[in-house]
Structure 1
Amino acid sequence: MAETLQVRRTTGSAALQWAALSTGQRPDTEAGQHACGWFHLDDVVFECGALLPRVRVYFETWGRLNAAADNAVVVCHALTGDAHAADGGGRPGWWSGLIGPGRAIDTNRYFVIASNVIGGCAGSTGPSDLAEDGRPYAMRFPAVTVRDMVAVQMRLLDALGVRELALVIGGSLGGMQAWEWAVMASGRVRHTIAIAAHPAFPPLGIGYNEAMRMAIMADADWQNGEYYGTGRTPQAGLAAARAIGMLTYRTDLLFEERFGRRTAEAGDGAPASPRFAVESYLRHQGDKLNRRFDANSYLYLTRAMDSHDIGRGRGGMEAALRQVRGRLTVIGIDTDYLYAPRDLRRAARLAADCGVASSYRELSSKYGHDAFLIEFEPLSRMVEEALREPVR
C-alpha cells in the first residue's frame, strides 16, 4: 500500500519549496510555522464496505512535532469548514482567535494539524473528484461516516510521525469527529474537547438535515447529482439549504437585535423578492456558500452527521464510553437550538459514570450554535482551563 506526503511551507525562505515524504517521516517545520500539503493513500475501505483505490487528503499544520512525537493537536472542522483553521499563507483561519503563538492552542508548544474531511470539497477526495473512469464520482461516491473521516485522519497522523495526541478538538461536525477520536484511538488521545456536539446525533438534527437535502434535490439543476460539466449547478437548492441551516445556527435574540422588522433596501413587496432585511441576509449567506461549496458534498456530509453515534455497533453508548482512556471535556452553548446543552451535560455525566475523567462547561452567548466560531475570548479561557486539568 503506497502512502506519500507532500508538504509546502508557507512562511520563511522555503515558502515555495516542496518535499515528497514517505510514510513515517516528519516535515521539518519550525516552531509556530505554517505548512500545507497533501496525503495520498491507496485502497481506502469505507465503513459501508466500498473501496476507493486512491484518496487524497489536504491538510495544514502549525508548529513543530517534538522529539517524543507527543505534542500534536488535531483540530476537526465543521460541515462547511476546511483545513485552514489558523493564520497562514497571508490569510486568517476560522479559529485564529484560538490557535497561534501564545493563544489557547499555542503553536509554540503544540504541533497542530487540521485536514479537510473526505467527502468534502476543499482539497480532499469527494464527489466532485474524478473516479477511475475519468468521470466525477457524483452520487457514485461511497457513503461516508464520521468514523471514515477519523480513520483517514489517523493514517495521516501515522504518516506525519505522530505517536500520541495531546488534544483532539472540534465543534459541531468537528465535535462529532472528536467524540469518535476519543473512542477509536483511546490509547493515543490524552484529552478530547467536543464542542456543541452530541455523542449521537439527535432526531431533530437529522430532520433539519433531511429538509436541507430535500431543498438541494428539488432543484432541477441538481440533475440527480450529475451536474458537473453541464454548466448548471443547483445553486437555488444549496442556497435554500443554507438558509435552513442558518436559522438553526443562530438565535431569535440575535435576529431581533440585528434585523427586527427592518425592510430590505431594494424590497418591492413582490412575493419572489426579499421584503425584510432578514430575508436579504439569508439570501446573501446562500450566495456566499454557492461560491465555495459543492452541493453533493453537502448531501454526503449531512448524511455522515446523521449516522453519527459512538455506540453504534459497539454495544451501545455506555460500552463505547468505557473504551475512552483520556480526559473528556464537553462544551455546550446555552442558546444552542440543535445541540441542546441539557443533552451535552447529560452526555458528560454519563461518561463520568462510565469511568471517564469527564467534565462539562457551558458557553453563554447570544450567537447560538455558531458561538464556537465567534466567541473566541470565553472559549479560549475554557480550553486553557481544560488543558490545565490532569489527564486522569
Structure 2
Amino acid sequence: MANLVPQGELGIQSIGDFRTEAGGTIEDAFIAYQRWGELKVTDDGTSNVLLIEHALTGDSDVAEWWKGLVGPGMALDTDRFCVLCTNVLGGCSGSVGPASRHPDGDHWGSRFPAISIRDQVKAEKTFLDAVGVERVSAVIGGSMGGARTLEWTLMYPGLVDAALVIAVSARASAWQIGIQSSQINMIENDLFWHGGDYHDTGYFPTAGLGSARKLAHLTYRGELEIDERFGSDPQAGEDPFGTFRSPKQRFSVQSYLDHQARKLVERFDAGSYVILTDSLNRHDIGRGRGGLNKALASSTVPTMVVGVDTDILYPYHQQEHLSRNLGNLLAMGKISSPVGHDAFLTEFRQMDNILRRFIMLAGPTLKTPTPEQAGEIEFYI
C-alpha cells in the first residue's frame, strides 16, 4: 500500500544506510520528493506513476521548472497520471548531500562519498520501495536526468514501462569530462573550500561556485543566442575598452554571466555541485556491460530519444548514436532552437508536443490502471 505526501508538498523519505557502487556508505540516507495527481496502484503492482528526473541543479518541483506541462489536461496529465519527482541523491534541495547533517551532528562535507549515476538510480529505486511503488509507467528526464533515465532502463527494465531520454549521451565524452572537471577545479581552488569542510566556517566558496556556473552556463546555451543577445556590446555605464583592463568595466555578456552565477550561489551548495558534476564524469552505461553498443542493444524498455539541434554540451549526434543502437527505440525527436542545451527547459511548446507524442506512442506499453480496475486501487493522499 503506497503512502505519499499531499500533492505539491515536499516530502522527506528515509531510505536507510546506502552503500555506493564504489564502496562508500551514507548512513541514514533520505530522499526528498514531490508529487502531483492521485497515485493509483493495483494488486499486481501496476501504477500510474510518471517518474521525472531533474537536471544537475534542478530539484523536485517539476511543476515549477516545467511550468505549464504538469497538471490536469496538460502534457503530463495529472488526471491520468501521478507525476512524481525526487531530488537526486547528493543534492541540496531536501535529499541527503554534503551540506546535510551527518548522524554525528556535524555536516557531511568531505565525508560524503563520491556517487555515480547508478547510485542515484539505486537510491531512487530504494525510495520507491519505501513509499510502496513497485512499478512506474514511465521515466522521463533531460541532461543529468536523461542519464538517470537511461540507467533506469538498464538497471530495472522490468519495473519501467517506457522511457523518454532527453539531451544526454550514452557516456561522458572527453569534452564533457574536461568542461566538468574544470568547473570542479574552480570550486576546489577557492580559498574557502577547505577540502569540502566549509559548512561550519561561516564562509562559502562562492567565487569558485560562481566561476563554475559561468563556464557551465556557456555550454548550456547556444552560441547564436548569446551573440544575438549581447554581441560585443559593453555593459550599460561601463567601458571595457579603456586604457587598463578592469573587472568593473565589463562587456554585456559578462554582466549576464555574473547574474547567472549570483542566482546559483544563492540557492545551491558548492559541495553538491562538485558531487553531482563528478557523477556526470562517471556516466558510462557501457561500463561492466560489454561496452556502449552492447549495453544499448540489450535495452528492452521502449525508449524515445530527444536532442537539441544547437546543443554544444551534448551534441545531437550523441542522441543519434543512442537512437541507432537502442534495442527498443520508440521514436526519435529533435528540439529546434537557438537556445542550445537548455532548450528542453525553455522551449515549452516543443516540449509539450514531445511529451504528448511520447505518451501517445508509449500508450500501448503503459500498464496504467484502467477505470475498470478502480475497485482494486489502494492509495493514501
Same fold (TM over 0.5): yes
Instruction: Describe the superposition over 1:314-350 as per-residue Cα deviations: whole angstroms up to 9, x where unpaired.
Output: 2222332344222111100000001111121121111
Q: Tell me which residue corresponds to 1:370.
A: 342
Q: Tell me which residue corresponds to 1:108.
A: 79
| Structure 2 runs not aligned, ≥5 long | 366-381
Amino acid at match of 1:27: L
| Equivalent-residue separation in structure 1 for 2:304 and 2:66 (angstroms) | 18
Q: Tell me which residue corresponds to 1:312.
A: 287
From 169, 183, 201, give the equivalent of 1:212: 183
Three-state SS of the structure 1 residue aligned to 2:277 is: helix
Give the deviation of 1:274 after TM superposition. 4.0
Instruction: Describe the superposition over 1:103-157 as per-residue Cα deviations: whole angstroms up to 9, x where unpaired.
Output: 1110111011111111111110001112233221111111111111111111222
CA contact (8 A) 1:336 1:369 kept: yes
Give the deviation of 1:295 after TM superposition. 0.8
Q: Tell me which residue corresponds to 1:54.
A: 28
CA contact (8 A) 1:65 1:162 kept: no
Q: 1:25 to 1:166 in 2, by over 3 A?
A: closer
From 48, 61, 78, give the equivalent of 1:71: 48
From 200, 211, 214, give the equivalent of 1:243: 214
Higher percent of residues as strand: 1
Aligned: 1:42 with 2:16: yes
Task: Report 1 or 2 for greater relative contact order, CA contacts < 8 Å, sequence distance ≥ 6.
Answer: 2
| Equivalent-residue separation in structure 1 for 2:105 and 2:5 (angstroms) | 35
Q: Tell me which residue corresponds to 1:5.
A: none
From 328, 331, 342, give the equivalent of 2:303: 328
Q: Tell me which residue corresponds to 2:90.
A: 119
CA contact (8 A) 2:286 2:295 kept: yes
| Equivalent-residue separation in structure 2 for 1:343 and 1:25 (angstroms) | 38
| Equivalent-residue separation in structure 2 for 1:97 and 1:205 (angstroms) | 31
Instruction: Describe the superposition over 1:251-291 as per-residue Cα deviations: whole angstroms up to 9, x where unpaired.
Output: 12111221122211242444222421100000111111110
Aligned: 1:302 with 2:273: no
CA contact (8 A) 2:54 2:87 kept: yes
Three-state SS of the structure 2 residue aligned to 1:368 is: coil
Give the deviation of 1:228 after TM superposition. 1.1
Deviates more, 1:128-137 or 1:284-293: 128-137
| Equivalent-residue separation in structure 2 for 1:118 and 1:382 (angstroms) | 27
CA contact (8 A) 1:274 1:280 kept: no
Q: 1:350 to 1:263 in 2, by over 3 A?
A: same
Give the deviation of 1:359 after TM superposition. 2.4
Q: Tell me which residue corresponds to 1:89.
A: none
Instruction: Describe the superposition over 1:350-392 as per-residue Cα deviations: whole angstroms up to 9, x where unpaired.
Output: 11xxx31342111100100000000011111112112211556
CA contact (8 A) 1:34 1:63 kept: no
The percentage of aligned residue pairs carrying the same residue is 39
Q: Tell me which residue corresponds to 2:376.
A: none
| Equivalent-residue separation in structure 1 for 2:120 and 2:54 (angstroms) | 11
Amino acid at match of 2:238: G
| Equivalent-residue separation in structure 2 for 1:281 and 1:373 (angstroms) | 18
From 229, 232, 240, give the equivalent of 1:258: 229
| Equivalent-residue separation in structure 2 for 1:268 and 1:28 (angstroms) | 53
